[in-house]
Amino acid sequence: MSDRRLEVLRAIVEDYVATREPVGSKALVERHRLGVSSATIRNDMSALEDEGLIAQPHTSAGRVPTDLGYRTFVDRISGLKPLSQAERNAITMLLDGPMDLDDTLERTVRLLAQLTRQVAVVQYPQLSASRIRHIELVSLAADRSLVVLITDNGRVEQSVVVTEGLGENDLADLRARLNTALVNVRITDVSDMLDSLRVGLPEVELPAFEAVLRVVGDLAEANREDRIVMAGTANLARAGTDFGESIGPLLEAIEEQVVLLKLLSTMGEDSHEVTVRIGHENSHSSLAGASLVATGYASGGDVSATLGVLGPTRMDYPTTMAAVRAVARYVSRILN
Q: Give one DSSP letter per residue of 143-189, joined into a string.
A: TEEEEEEEETTS-EEEEEEE-TT--HHHHHHHHHHHHHHHTT-BGGG
User: What class is the 128-224 domain?
Assistant: alpha beta
Q: What are phi and psi of 273, to 5 degrees?
A: -75, 145
Q: What is the pLDDT of residue 126?
A: 65
Give 183: exposed, middle or buried? Use CB within 10 Å, 0-12, 13-18, 19+: middle
Q: What is the pLDDT of residue 118?
A: 92
Domain boundaries, the chain: 3-75, 85-125+226-335, 128-224
User: In this structure, how many other beta carbons lie within 10 angstroms of the beta carbon of residue 205?
Assistant: 16
Q: Which residues of the chain have pLDDT under 50?
A: none
Cα(3)–Cα(221) distance, integer angstroms: 55
Those residues whose C-beta lies under 8 Å from the C-beta of residue 103, and which sit 6 or more positions away, are: none
**103-120 pLDDT per residue, tens:** 888 989 999 999 999 999
Pick from 50, 108, 138: nearest CA to 297: 108
The three-state secondary structure class of 273 is coil
Q: What is the pLDDT of residue 303?
A: 52
Pick from 228, 229, 177, 226: nearest CA to 202: 177
Tell me the whole-structure pTM to 2 decimals: 0.73
Q: What are phi and psi of 28, to 5 degrees?
A: -65, -45
Pick from 232, 290, 213, 234: nearest CA to 259: 290
Q: What is the pLDDT of residue 302?
A: 57
DSSP string, 56-109: -SSTT--BEE-HHHHHHHHHT--SPPPPPHHHHHHHHHHH-S---HHHHHHHHH
Cα(274)–Cα(296) distance, integer angstroms: 8
Q: What is the pLDDT of residue 224?
A: 63
Q: What is the pLDDT of residue 245?
A: 63
**177-226 pLDDT per residue, tens:** 899 999 998 888 888 888 888 876 766 556 778 888 889 988 887 766 67
As a CATH number, domain 3-75 is 1.10.10.10
Q: What angle do CA 176, 191, 304 make, to 5 degrees?
A: 95
The correct answer on CATH 3.30.450.40 for the domain covering 85-125+226-335 is yes
Cα separations (Å) of 100 from 18, 44, 247? 38, 54, 35
